[in-house]
Amino acid sequence: MEVVQDAQPEAAVAAEIKPPSSIDLRKKLVQITLEKKNLSHLVARVGLVLDVTGSMMPLYKNGTVQEVVERILAVACKFDDNASLDVWVYDNEFSRLSAATEADLEQYVQKQILTNPHIHKFGRNNEPPVMKDVIHKYTVEEISSLPVFLVFINDGGVVKAIKKVITEAAVHPIFWQFVGIGHSDFEVLKQLDTMEGRIVDNANFIHIHDIASISDEALYNLLLNEFPQWIEAATNQRILRQ
């Protein structure tokens, strides 16, 4: 006797085949980038500082900043053993936010920043206080032998005093990757690569006019371009210990 199996309903079959999420696709692109740069076995802590001054308001409201958080979280998922992203925001004040993870990524910016009454936002620029808090977290509160990859998003108006903070921070295991977005001249940030008086070059600056339109592949390549050189230099100077 021929046995005919019941066909699965189309809806059930469709439910079993889930398309990969955007964060999963981005993690794959990060992995490819890390392999190209010989960083695939590196463990690091990852942080993100977001400019929340008044000129950034449109990018918060149109979802661009939420997208930035996801794109950097993908890096944290590949580098960080906890797969979490430490996040700060700043204008003329600063706040530490709850770490971003895949579990709480949805509406992260809306919940943590835009509708959070405790977050000071859309004021003027003042970078040194938040930078000093980043340093305090990673070198006093949570001492570790792991390097820190810190992405710093800014749309212009950086105060000159950041150069002193960066110079003094060169002895710490923190690499500062500044990302300028928009059409400012970024005069201060452009000087980071040529600043003297540091044991190692601990900062890099890239300018992306429209961060919403750059591909993930291009973004990750730019973000991680100078990190390997800093890892080598910091290891040679015993800032990092193997």
Average pLDDT, integer, range 26-50 = 96
Per residue in 134-151, pLDDT (tens digit) is: 999 999 999 999 999 999
Per residue in 58-112, pLDDT (tens digit) is: 999 999 999 999 999 999 999 988 999 999 999 999 999 999 999 999 999 999 9
HSE toward the beta carbon, residue 105, CA cutoff 13 A? 22
Q: What is the pLDDT, as a whole number, of residue 242?
A: 67
- Burial state string for 197-210 with b = 16 or more CB within 10 A and e = fewer than 16: eeebbbbbbbbbee
Q: Which residues contact 180 (CB under 8 A, 6 or more apart)?
A: 154, 155, 156, 186, 189, 205, 206, 207, 208
Q: What is the pLDDT, as a whole number, of residue 138?
A: 98
Q: What is the pLDDT, as a whole number, of residue 13?
A: 45
Average pLDDT, integer, range 13-25 = 69
Percent of the chain whose pLDDT exceeds 90: 88
Q: Is the pLDDT of residue 11 over 70?
A: no
CA distances (Å), origin 16, targets 8, 9, 34, 100, 135 = 11, 11, 31, 28, 46
* Residue 18 banded pLDDT, cuts 50, 70, 90: low
Strand partners, 153: 50, 179
Q: Is the pLDDT of residue 222 over 60?
A: yes
Percent of the chain whose pLDDT exceeds 70: 91
Q: Is the pLDDT of residue 15 over 60?
A: no
* 21 compared with 29, residue with greater pLDDT: 29
pTM of the model: 0.91
